Amino acid sequence: MNRVDDRTRIGRGFHRQAGEYDRHAVVQKRVVTNLTRLVQSHCDAAPGSALDIGCGTGAMLSALAGLYPTARLCGLDLAFNMALRSAQRLGPAAMLVNGDAESLPFGSACFDLVVSASTLQWVQRLDSCFRECQRVLAPGGLLCAAFFGGKTLWELQESYREALADRFSRDDCRGGRLQRFRSATDVRQALEGLGFDQVMVATEIEMEYHPDVPALLRSIKGIGATTPARTGTGGGLGWRGLLTAMADTYRSRFQRDGMIPATYEVMYIVARKSDDIP
């Protein structure tokens, strides 16, 4: 699948589930709370303008509106219905744009603050996204973001790979991850390589618990997150059999007290655009 098709698929997934997102976004709501505190602690002064990349249904924009009532706020989302939900929630308090984080439709040096909550794990070229963030930030502007790191859903990843290995050759199973997540080292190197100052990268673990694997998968689907398998498993009975095997493995390895855990590694980043970069 090429990049354009993949971005289209991601956008459509979130577009379809915009009405269900808030009901399922348990960890994502915690991330907004934590990211809001991070913004407060690193903003030296109230920003005159702020951009929320991947604004979703507007939770982070609402937090910014409460913190900085005089700021000019803008939200961007790849999924039209998500941007629409934010527009309905914020009203005239924010401008909403349907667009791509890897190609921001804004002029240079036009925001004092750029934030993003639970979005950048979906970006295919993170360095390009960071470069765009740097471009739209004013000199000395602040980037604060939170997105999911490499340990996210590791129980699901391992159960999926084990089920694949039981059904297909090792060659067929190479790269059989449900989603590729970046490491903290990769993220720090990308930011520092672009010349950002005062780079901070920290990780925290958030947990969810579900009665079974189907409930976990419904929760993931409920926020719009859908990633096809990268192996030639096809669909139909073969795919359902693979899911059943994965669920059995997950339950036998990780279930405790009638519940299965789902780990989310949240990567928090802070970086400041150098005053020397226009």
Task: State the number of CA atoms in the 13 A half-sphere of 69 facing the CB.
Answer: 1
Is the predicted pLDDT of residue 178 greater than 90, yes or no? no
Count of beta carbons in the 10 Å neighbourhood of residue 147: 25
Is the predicted pLDDT of residue 171 greater than 70, yes or no? no
Average pLDDT over residues 187-192: 97
Of 196, 177, 180, the C-alpha closest to 188 is 196
* Residue 138, SS3 per DSSP: strand
H helices present in the chain, as ranges? 3-16, 21-24, 26-42, 59-67, 80-90, 126-136, 154-167, 170-173, 184-193, 213-222, 236-254
Q: Which helix (H) or strand (E) holds 193?
A: helix 184-193
Is the predicted pLDDT of residue 212 greater than 70, yes or no? yes
At residue 239, the pLDDT reads 74
Which residue has 């459509």 as its token pair?
Answer: 12
CB neighbour list of residue 225: distance below 8 Å, 6 or more residues apart: 13, 14, 179
Tokens of 124: 């295919």
At residue 2, the pLDDT reads 53
Q: Which domains are assigned to the chain?
A: 3-152+180-207+264-272 (3.40.50.150)
* Residue 96, SS3 per DSSP: strand
Average pLDDT, the chain: 91
Measured distance CA(202)–CA(227) in Å, rounded: 26
At residue 229, the pLDDT reads 45
Average pLDDT over residues 72-81: 98
* Residue 118, SS3 per DSSP: coil
Question: How would residue 236 be classed by pLDDT, with cut points 50, 70 and 90?
Answer: low
- Count of residues making up the chain: 278
Measured distance CA(55)–CA(83) in Å, rounded: 7
At residue 175, the pLDDT reads 46
At residue 153, the pLDDT reads 96
Count of beta carbons in the 10 Å neighbourhood of residue 151: 17
Task: State the number of CA atoms in the 13 A half-sphere of 177 facing the CB.
Answer: 10
Of 116, 57, 64, the C-alpha closest to 268 is 116
Measured distance CA(278)–CA(97) in Å, rounded: 24
